[in-house]
Chain A
Amino acid sequence: MRLTALDGEGVALHLGTRRYYSVSESGLDLLDALTAPKSLEELVAVLLSKYEVTLEQATASAREFIEHGVRTGVLVVEEVP
């Protein structure tokens, strides 16, 4: 993944699928955090640390982001035993 930000938003290149995405500011933060594997809770913490949102809102945003990332092949979710 390669990222670049502009005016609080940006573009993400996924070199594996050779696709690119326009990404929101919070999406860029999450992708930046995902340079190493992260749990849902850790991604929620990223959003809570930067934005004035409730836990419920941050969780919903992070879940939506992950679901979209999995659908497009950008993210892989693994269960940790």
Chain B
Amino acid sequence: MNPGIAVVCRDREVSRWLEQWLASTRLVPPVPLTLAVDVTGTLPVDDGDPRQPFCQPILEIRSGPPQGDVRIRWLQAPAWAAIASSGRTAEVHLTPEALADRDLVARSFLTTVLIFLLRRAGWHHVHGATARDPTGRGWLFAGNTQSGKSTTAALLASRGWAVGTDDVAFLVQDGGSVDVVAQRATIALRPEGAALLGLAGGTPVRGGQKTAFFPEELGGAWAERVTPQILVLPRVGGGDVTWAEPLRPREALAELVRWSGWVLLEPALAQEHLDLLNALARQVRSYRLTLGPDLFKHPDLFTELIP
């Protein structure tokens, strides 16, 4: 069980599965939250919501006035959730079709529900990988799914670094600093990423399109939470050479907003989220890192470029 997020669900099998999934995320918020889940054949009728949806590839999210709540509709299969603006419970409706692919519904729909629920506990999502180097410094790598975050995280784990996540992270105010809490998950690599690192084994995921490794399997450790001192914005370059370029705090802030896109939703929570991004931009040294294949032949290049 997850000690911070309760599950209320009449379907005992689904309830057990949800509890296991929540426990596996290792996300324990500072205030109690609840997923109230109804397994149903039909979703609530929601035709009267006049709010323009924020569209993701297989998600529609409505937020802001006049209702004030956030409503999330999954487009892959029928599933729907609502969270009141000041509530601490997500009302979730899952159909048997949505539950047919448990990995996908958890990774796509339920993770999004969790992201909005955790906002109510002051945890604000950032699309990034986290790590702690052998000297104890915290690192955040922010960027999209094609930016090289996962390959970099796997490389660092193979060098003995502690890695928190390669994708889903949460900004948290901790006294005078901003920490980043990681959702516990495997590092998922495309075949070209695994080949660059010379990795064999791992667990096939996402229909065999990726291979997943826990950082411990790569020689590293897991970092539940880091205090970032260095922000890296990675991107895959077209050339052979890896290079780093320092960014000013203002540039880092604009990039953090870009990779923390939910800041643009839910007016009641946007300023708190934006203030955290600002504090983080002040806290870190920031670099844009253009990745080349030379890094994987000479991994020490990483800390030579960003000392």
Question: Which chain A residues have a beta carbon within 8 Å of chain B's beta carbons?
Answer: 2, 4-7, 9-11, 13, 15, 18-20, 22
Contact = CB atoms under 8 A, between A and B. Distances in A.
Interface string B251-290: 0011001100001110100110011011001100000000
Interface residues of B, number: 21
A22 B278 CA distance: 13
B85 to A, nearest CB: 13
B249 interface: yes
Contact of A13 (B64, B248, B249, B264): B264
Interface SS majority for chain B? helix
Interface SS majority for chain A? strand
Contacts of B190: none
A13 B270 CA distance: 9
Contact of A4 (B253, B265, B267): B253
A73 B263 CA distance: 19
Contacts of A19: 264
A9 B250 contact: yes
A11 B54 contact: no
Contacts of B253: 4, 6, 10-11
A15 B248 contact: no
Contacts of A13: 257, 263-264, 270, 274
A20 B270 CA distance: 12
Given A11-B257, A13-B264, A4 B275 contact: yes
A77 B253 CA distance: 30
A4 B250 contact: no
Contact of B270 (A2, A5, A7, A10): A2
Contact of B249 (A7, A15, A20): A7
A7 B257 contact: no
Interface in B215-248: 248
Nearest to A17: B264
A63 to B, nearest CB: 25
B267 A20 contact: no
A15 B275 contact: no
B152 to A, nearest CB: 26
A58 B278 CA distance: 29
B64 to A, nearest CB: 7
Most chain A CB within 10 A, of B54, B263, B265, B275, is at B263
A74 B96 CA distance: 43
A18 B62 CA distance: 12
A39 B291 CA distance: 49
21 contacts: A2-B267, A2-B270, A2-B274, A4-B274, A4-B275, A5-B278, A6-B278, A7-B248, A7-B249, A7-B250, A11-B274, A11-B278, A13-B257, A13-B263, A15-B64, A15-B265, A18-B54, A18-B265, A20-B257, A20-B264, A22-B250
Nearest to B264: A18
Contacts of B54: 18
Nearest to A19: B264
A66 B248 CA distance: 27
A8 to B, nearest CB: 8
A4 B277 contact: yes
Contact of A22 (B254, B263, B264, B275): B254
B263 A6 contact: no
Contacts of A22: 250, 254
Contacts of B281: 6
B89 to A, nearest CB: 24
Given A20-B257, A20-B264, A15 B270 contact: yes
Contacts of A2: 267, 270-271, 274
Nearest to B277: A4
